[in-house]
């Protein structure tokens, strides 16, 4: 088996945080999103990470301290309108590398709290396996693609894309296993539908291939927006504060989830549910539900529900 992690999206909904960095490299609960995933993949499974030219340098720098060895594939595109498409990138890698192994396919902006070991153990060789999160509410399921399974077993019957009246609370995630025998179907499908990763499972069903579902209830986050990013942080960190190396706090009041990045200095401030990236200076501020990028300086300001781009300076008398 080989693992392939898609990390080439431009994540415009998270700008300005993703203006100069890939979304999987955003810190989540003290480490890059992609690191949470890498730490779960068995060491004997080779990992390839696919990104684009715009984020190549960031990934090369990350690679030096990644939690395990990885291979980088750089798609030679620098903007969203040039990219191959997520499934197109998978197909190109399969063809260029002559891959004929089972494929653990992952999206680098997902956080999956289930045991990867258990997921892999649930795989029946030759049968595609898709991880589906039981979101627990049909109302919440309306915002996602849902997975309809046969009663009392794990065989998938159909998919619905953001249904107005969901038949299930199972939602599709960015974690799956594609057997080696079905890779030619993936490649052929990708040539016509390069952006539709989830569509490959509908195509497999259309071609009468059974597809199994691994359902789970552990935390799962598709970190595609400011709200999702902050929600993931507050759930994973809880009512705690995480201070990175070189961070300092003097005369501060913290509540909820507060993360203070490397070498960031906070003084005389009140923070609630805040993520501060590295090398920031925060003095006499009140911040709530905020994400502040690196190298920012804030003095005497009151902010709620804001994302600030790198190097922002806000001061008030």
The string of pLDDT tens digits covering residues 133-149 is 999 999 999 999 999 99
155 and 179 in a single domain? The answer is: yes
The boundaries of the domain holding residue 305 are 239-315
Given 198, 228, 258, which residue is the final one in a domain? 228
Cβ burial, residue 191 (10 Å; 0-12/13-18/19+): exposed
Q: How far apart (Å, rounded) are the C-alpha atoms in residues 42 and 67?
A: 12
pLDDT at 131 over 70: yes
211 and 253 in a single domain? The answer is: no
105 and 209 in a single domain? The answer is: yes
Mean pLDDT, residues 197-218:
96
Neighbours of 98 (CB within 10 A): 6
292 and 264 in a single domain? The answer is: yes
Predicted pLDDT of residue 75: 83
Predicted pLDDT of residue 64: 94
234 domain-assigned: no
79 and 155 in a single domain? The answer is: yes
Mean pLDDT, residues 193-220:
95
Query: pLDDT category, 67, cuts 50, 70, 90?
Result: very high
Q: How far apart (Å, rounded) are the C-alpha atoms in residues 287 and 236?
A: 20
Name residue, tokens 């590398």. Answer: 97
What CATH number is attached to the domain comprising 221?
3.90.550.10
Q: How far apart (Å, rounded) are the C-alpha atoms in residues 117 and 201?
A: 22
Q: Could you tell me where the DSSP H helices lie in the chain?
A: 33-38, 56-63, 86-97, 116-121, 138-141, 183-192, 199-206, 226-237
59 and 179 in a single domain? The answer is: yes
Predicted pLDDT of residue 83: 59
């Amino acid at each position: 088996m080989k693992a392939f992690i898609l990390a080439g999206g431009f994540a415009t909904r998270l700008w300005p945080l993703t203006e100069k960095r890939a979304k999987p490299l955003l810190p989540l609960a003290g480490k890059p999103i992609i690191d949470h995933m890498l730490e779960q993949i068995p060491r004997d499974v080779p990992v390839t990470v696919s990104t684009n030219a715009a984020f190549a340098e960031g990934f090369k720098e990350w690679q030096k301290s990644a939690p395990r060895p990885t291979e980088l594939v750089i798609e030679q595109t620098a903007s969203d309108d040039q990219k191959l498409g997520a499934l197109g990138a998978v197909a190109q890698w399969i063809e260029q590398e002559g891959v004929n192994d089972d494929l653990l396919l992952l999206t680098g902006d997902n956080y999956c709290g289930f045991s990867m070991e258990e997921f892999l153990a649930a795989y029946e060789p030759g049968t595609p396996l898709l991880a589906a999160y039981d979101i627990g509410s049909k109302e919440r399921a309306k915002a996602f693609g849902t997975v309809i399974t046969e009663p009392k077993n794990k065989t998938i019957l159909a998919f619905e894309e953001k249904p107005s009246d969901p038949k299930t609370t199972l939602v599709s995630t960015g974690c799956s296993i594609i057997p080696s025998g079905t890779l030619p179907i993936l490649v052929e499908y990708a040539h016509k539908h390069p952006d539709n990763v989830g569509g490959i499972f509908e195509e497999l069903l259309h071609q009468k291939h059974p597809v199994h579902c691994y359902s789970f209830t552990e935390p799962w986050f598709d970190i595609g927006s400011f709200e999702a990013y902050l929600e993931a942080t507050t759930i994973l960190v809880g009512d705690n504060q995480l201070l990175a190396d070189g961070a300092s706090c003097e005369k501060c009041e913290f509540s909820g989830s507060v993360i203070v990045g490397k070498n960031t200095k906070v003084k005389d401030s009140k923070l609630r549910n805040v993520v501060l990236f590295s090398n920031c200076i925060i003095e006499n501020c009140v911040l709530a539900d905020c994400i502040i990028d690196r190298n920012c300086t804030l003095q005497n300001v009151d902010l709620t529900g804001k994302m600030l781009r790198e190097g922002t300076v806000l001061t008030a008398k």
